Amino acid sequence: MALATTDDLEARLGRPLTADEFARAAAVLADVSAAIRARTGQTFERGTHELRARVKRGMVRLSQRPVHDVTTVTDRHGTAVAHEWDGLDLVYVDTLCLPGRAPVQVVDVTYDAGPDEAPADVVGVACSVALRTIGADPLEGGVVSESIDGYSYRLGSASGAGSYGLLPAEADILARYTRPYGNIRVAT
């Protein structure tokens, strides 16, 4: 499901989409939404999520946010594991050994997470990127060049962010939703 609709595009564009723009809009919005989800690691949809994760220092960080509830935590054999959810995105797991088994190192967590609707700033980024893409001729290479009295420069699609690229302000918005890769704890 796309993070934005054609109505969202038209509201930001200030006019109805032309027939050619409308014909490309659904595919472009789907592509942009997939790129945003890949960049952030977030689905931006509420639902039940399943995560298999390695327990690190007795904790598992849940990837989708916001977390509404943790339903089950089991070891890789399907046995329920004692746990406590911190109310945000961490699940503390009891890693004690069960008789005849090794310590719990990998768990499967089932949890309810995600916003009820995509955040407005994410919808705005999706629309901004989609409108840039729709406004560009897909057959052109995105090359811009300028020449003045012997001086010239050429800007290709890679350096100009391309039609699916993010501008710095858009990347900053999406950075707020990107899952952290780890924790740094400092002793006090």
pLDDT, residue 142, reads 54
Percentage with pLDDT > 70 across the chain: 82
Q: Where does the pLDDT of residue 165 fall: very low under 50, low under 70, confident under 90, or very high at 90 and above?
A: confident
**Mean pLDDT estimate for the chain:** 86
pLDDT tens column, 51-65:
999 999 999 999 999
**Domain chopping of the chain, boundaries:** 6-43+128-175, 47-113
Q: Where are the beta strands (DSSP E) in the chain?
A: 47-54, 59-61, 67-75, 83-85, 90-93, 106-113, 144-148, 151-155
151-179: average pLDDT: 74
pLDDT tens column, 15-43:
999 999 999 999 999 999 999 999 999 99
pLDDT tens column, 120-143:
999 999 999 999 989 876 666 555
